[in-house]
Structure 1
Amino acid sequence: MTNTVEATPPSPSLSFPATVGVLGGGRMGAGIAHAFLLKGSKVIVVERNDEAAQGAEDRVAAAVAASFARGVVDGEEHEVIARFSVSLDYAHFAQCDLVVEAVPEDQKLKTAALTAVAKHLSPHAYLATNTSSLSVSGLATSLARPEQFLGLHFFNPVPASTLIEVVVAEKSSEETVAAARRWVSGLGKTAIVVRDVPGFASSRLGVAIALEAMRMLEEGVASAEDIDNAMVLGYKHPVGPLRTTDIVGLDVRLNIAEYLQETLGDRFAPPQILRDKVAAAELGRKTGRGFYDWN
């Protein structure tokens, strides 16, 4: 069951968005909503149907409750939840200062979603995509105000992650980039600003390491645990590349690898072990099995 949203005029403040819209309330979208809620924004999540909307509502409510249980946020839980709502109506984006698109990593889907959102935005509002690898400039081609659009690549889990990658598209204005830096700072995170190139900085490096770890596992060099421990203990990575792939989703990693292979060459060719696991629906944590058993 979705909450209703009363129409209110959008805030002109650009220092931190008073009202944030999120398109898509899956794991990433819910995490983005959660992060802005904890910093005082009103947040509206728009989903495709009642079932998805209920799932988004449950995820965000559970995340907020967990934050209060850990004592990492001030105020009252009911006051935070009161600033959160879920809808099926894109028209609610008209009151937002910022809308972040967080639908699955598919160019046609994202392009259609962004075009639909943009029709409802006020002239002052900014629009961002949470893509982890797709061309932000390419996604902007159908937008009427591409200068107010860029990439905001959040990392999973969003509230715990301290990094947001700000991806500057060909027509992103300096004002838009400066505003994005302020939002990231307001969230208590660190921004890295990168050009719109395939894989940006983080996905390109992360996928390269993960693909090599998969090849090593495929060749029998070592177990998944030992390969991961080489990076965790030897290089101080917080999580190993194979476990990270399980958390991100093997299907997501495969899509990114195929895109990078197409744009940057065969050094990003997905190993057969990755294709086989995706074909067997072993997608990582979300299905209970990937390179690890999550059950």
Structure 2
Amino acid sequence: MSVKKVMVIGAGQMGSGIAQVCAQAGYQVVLNDLKTEFVERGLGVISKNLTRLVEKGRMTAEQKQDVLDRIRPSTDLNDASAVDLVIEAAVENMEIKTKLFAQLDKIAPENTILASNTSSLPITEIAAATNRPEKVIGMHFMNPVPVMKLVEIIRGLATADEVYQTIEEMTKTIGKVPVEVNDSPGFVSNRILLPMINEAIYALYEGVATKEAIDDVMKLGMNHPMGPLTLADFIGLDTCLYIMETLHEGFGDDKYRPCPLLRKYVKAGWLGRKSGRGFYTYE
């Protein structure tokens, strides 16, 4: 199996980053979203990222244009009929993802691999919405995609070895480090990271320390590049809550119970950087 043309579904922060790294590696990319304005916004982010590389001397203006020329905008899911790999980076919601994969299964050629960038949802359940579960796999990129090296590659119950090997090799060609993970709630990254963030929120909720103090302890004492509450704001508090709920439901263990303060902030619309306010306030 070989991958030459990739479709990325979802032109938001993750999807645009995935499209960028694929195009930089020489792949033909179709960047798809529900509305033209969403795709244009994603392309604008990619162009801005590439301009930064040009300014730093890591890329020429001609190379930047070549990368942009390899990305084709799309608002039609039927464009999946001419690609070797689809990477879905839509909203983190099982109902939306299974509906999308069922549609893609009907549109994409039978050899096309269907991958999900889900950060916590079961690949096996997503694959069950298709008639090709052996060709469904997880590709969990880290944020920001152009910078972070890791891609968790998640095997569903039925994922074929050949499909895994194809995705592992493709991940290396885009300059990332693939790590094999079995299908389990939160995989490895979020099973470990989100409970730590949730515990930091509990420490704030219970008045153990201020938000600044909690972040300083983890930065200065544990050598983390940013504190857990700052990181939660960066990820999005709604996303943190959703992943904690997925872990809580998936394992049935109260150690994964989301902190009430996290729920309160999400209900208030304090979602972190993207809304201008979370644990911290952003201009």
TM-score range, shorter chain: over 0.9
CA distance in 2, matches of 1:176, 1:122: 15
Equivalent of residue 202 in structure 2, options 212, 215, 218: 215
Q: CA offset at residue 173 of structure 1?
A: 0.6
Distance 1:107 1:274 in 2: 21
Residues 86-97 of structure 1: pairs in structure 2 closer than 5 A: 86-97=73-84
Aligned to 1:150: 137
Q: Who is 1:277 aligned against?
A: 265
SS at 1:119 equivalent: helix
Q: In structure 1, what residue type is equivalent to 2:150?
A: L
Equivalent residue for 1:68, pick from 32, 54, 60: 54
- 2:89 maps to which residue? 102
Q: Give the aligned residue type for 1:172.
A: T
**Cα distance in structure 2, aligned partners of 1:52 and 1:223:** 38
| 1:190-243 Cα deviation digits (max 9, x unpaired) | 111111011110011011100000001111222222212222222222222111
User: Pick from 184, 191, 200: which aligns with 2:178?
Assistant: 191
In the comparison of the two structures, how many residue pairs are matched? Answer: 281
User: Larger % of helix: which?
Assistant: 2
The letter for the 2-side match of 1:158 is V
2:42 to 48, 51, 56: 56
- Supply the AA of the counterpart residue of 2:29: V
The CA distance in 2 between the partners of 1:71 and 1:25, in whole Å, is: 27
Please give the secondary structure, in 1, of the residue aligned with 2:226. Answer: coil
Letter of the 1:36 counterpart: C
Give the Cα separation in 2 of the matches to 1:181 and 1:131. Answer: 17
CA distance in 2, matches of 1:250, 1:47: 23
1:53 Cα offset (Å): 2.4
Number of the residue aligned with 1:26: 12
Residues 38 and 73 in structure 1, CA contact (< 8 A), matched pair in contact too: no
Which sections of structure 1, spanning at least 5 residues, go unmatched? 1-12
Considering only aligned residues, what root-mean-square deviation do their CA atoms show, in Å?
Answer: 1.4
- Tell me, what secondary structure is at the counterpart of 2:107? coil
Summarize the alignment of residues 284-295 of structure 1 with structure 2, pairs less than 5 Å apart: 284-295=272-283
Match of 1:163 among 147, 150, 153: 150
The structural deviation recorded for 1:57 is 2.4
Deviation (angstroms), 1:91: 1.9
Secondary structure of the residue aligned to 1:76 is helix
Tell me the distance in 2 between the aligned counterparts of 1:57 and 1:111.
Answer: 26
